[in-house]
Amino acid sequence: MFEWSETDELIRDAVRGFIEKEVRPKVDGLESGELSPYPVIRKLFSEFGIDAMGAEAVGKLLAKQRARESGEAPAEKKEKSSSGGAPFSGQESLMAVLVGELSGVCMGLVTAMGVSIGLGATTILSRGTLAQKERWLEDIVTMKKVAAWAITEPDSGSDAFGGMKTYVKRDGDDYILNGQKTFITNGPYADTVIVYAKLEEGEADKRNRKVLTFVLDKGMEGFTQGKPFKKMGLHSSPTGELFFDNVRLGKDRLLGETEEHKGGDGRESARSSFTAERIGVAFMALGIINECHRLCVDYAKNRKLWGQEIGRFQLVQLKLAKMEIARINVQNMVFNAIERARAGKPPTLAEASAMKLYCSETATDVAMDAVQLFGGNGYMTEFRVEQLARDAKSLMIYAGSNEIQITHVAKGLLGN
């Protein structure tokens, strides 16, 4: 893949039309917190039939699983896929266009949507029983309900598993959950929450205890959702803390309903999610770069100093040229990821980490150059590049800080 297809371009035009009508006029309200992001996302899903597409895909997946479990259909060979057979697998270029276009205008919408479906729904799909998928999946993929994915804790950001203190204890056939999570996208308002917790048992080293994955619903006794944090960027994406005080969980809330999950413990589930999340960062970075590129080219043509357009000055031309190189490089990484997903050979965790590292740094550099190119205007909210710079910076921390990406890339090279 070396360019967007005609279908991709048609989708892009339609998405841009929606954004001009339904997103740009609401950006200030979304950024201030006056408006919730979820009605905008639901309207997007409705207008483009994404909710219907998701419901249909989930229906087919569940029907196949019912047939297999009842013996009416043979077991299928497991295919390699970046999405694990997720509801929107096979629609990678559609999602790349959608994510990119939204990211350039209001990236918080993308993180709210992406975490709910890309992490929440996909984890239930990959680890849940048929009953659990029937219980939660369709509502999440159609955005009728919002999901959160809770792994990060106050003392265990990059050391997500080793430093994890949230724990569960067995209590008869149930589990009792205690602990705290932080920096959880959708956390303040989520209807459904995927929670990772360590099983407290015996004398096993706390760092290496088994990690289990549970599904909680809003309003459960002992489960508290904190207020949204005030952040540097991504203002339209609610982020907050979650608190668990002796929350009683039946086995029906343990994904897979067994501690000995065939896919390994919760660590394996999370690593798979990390890969998809980091590839998604490349899609978002491309959206930031494209919008900065567009705004800066337009500004360079129209802003005049000393009787001529600033685009005639060599230092401005240098910034524009570097933006174009960044656009080409990041777009090629996105194209590569799409093609590999289609071929059933998705990037490894190390490769996804390399993509995330490069694309997030590049998007941040481009956005900061955009602010500088606009000068005093770039520091004003009306010209939007300051918002792009704040949002771009989050990509260097989001989905694992860039420092930890370096470690994952090196481990992939060294084979450990």
- Could you report how far apart the first and last alpha carbons of the chain are, in Å? 32
Taking alpha carbons only, the member of 254, 154, 252 closest to residue 195 is 254
| Degrees to nearest 5, angle at CA 182 with 176 and 187 | 85
Neighbours of 271 (CB within 10 A): 14
Catalytic residue among 277, 291, 351, 386: 277
Residue 361 in contact with residue 402, Cβ under 8 Å? yes
SS (H, E, C) the chain: CCCCCHHHHHHHHHHHHHHHHHHHHHHHHHHHCCCCHHHHHHHHHHHCCHHHHHHHHHHHHHHHHHHHHCCCCCCCCCCCCCCCCCCCCCCHHHHHHHHHHHHHHHHHHHHHHHHHHHHHHHHHHHHCCHHHHHHHHHHHHCCCCCEEEECCECCECCCCCCCCCCEEEEECCEEEEEEEEEEEECCCCCCEEEEEEEECCCCCCHHHCCEEEEEEECCCCCEEECCCCCCCCCCCCCEEEEEEEEEEECHHHECCCCCCCCCCCHHHHHHHHHHHHHHHHHHHHHHHHHHHHHHHHHHHHHCEECCEEHHHCHHHHHHHHHHHHHHHHHHHHHHHHHHHHHCCCCCCHHHHHHHHHHHHHHHHHHHHHHHHHHHHHHHCHHHCHHHHHHHHHHCCCCCCCHHHHHHHHHHHHHCC
CA distances from 282 to 314, 340, 341 (A): 29, 14, 14
Phi and psi at residue 153, to the nearest 5°: -130, 165
- Clarify whether 361 is annotated catalytic: no
Rg (CA), the chain: 22
Where in the sequence numbering do the catalytic residues fall?
A: 277
